[in-house]
Amino acid sequence: MGIALKTPEDIGNLVRAARQAENLRQDDAAGAIGVSDVFLWKLEKGGPGVRLDKLLQVFKAMGIQLSAEVSDNTVLCYQKLLERKASSKRSGVKKPRANQR
């Protein structure tokens, strides 16, 4: 089932629900995930300014998969970006950035 996440509070509620579904105390969950109690508390409260890398770490540990619904054109552009990055890694040459938006 999908849940629309539109605000920091929505994300916090989702993380709290995932933790509670596993019957984990906040401090136990934070320790198992590798984040501080304070970070998890702020995240669950919907606090602004959460680090994206830490948020993704919590999502992974809680079994929350993040995806984005985008237009077909965006998918094509995304795939081209990945192909260019893979190609430049193989060749070891960085291509100049042109016309980025």
Measured CA to CA, the distance from residue 59 to residue 9 in angstroms comes to: 15
Measured CA to CA, the distance from residue 52 to residue 23 in angstroms comes to: 25
Question: Quick check: 44 and 15 in contact, CB under 8 A?
Answer: yes
Residue 95, pLDDT above cutoff 70: no
**Ordered DSSP codes for 27-72:** HHHHHHHTS-HHHHHHHHTT-S---HHHHHHHHHHHTPPP-----H
pLDDT digits (tens, 9 = 90+) for 13-35: 999 999 999 999 999 999 999 99
Q: Which pLDDT band holds residue 99 (cuts at 50, 70, 90)? A: low
Q: Which pLDDT band holds residue 46 (cuts at 50, 70, 90)? A: very high
Domains of the chain: 8-62 (1.10.260.40)
Per-residue pLDDT, 2: 84
pLDDT digits (tens, 9 = 90+) for 48-70: 888 999 999 999 999 999 988 89
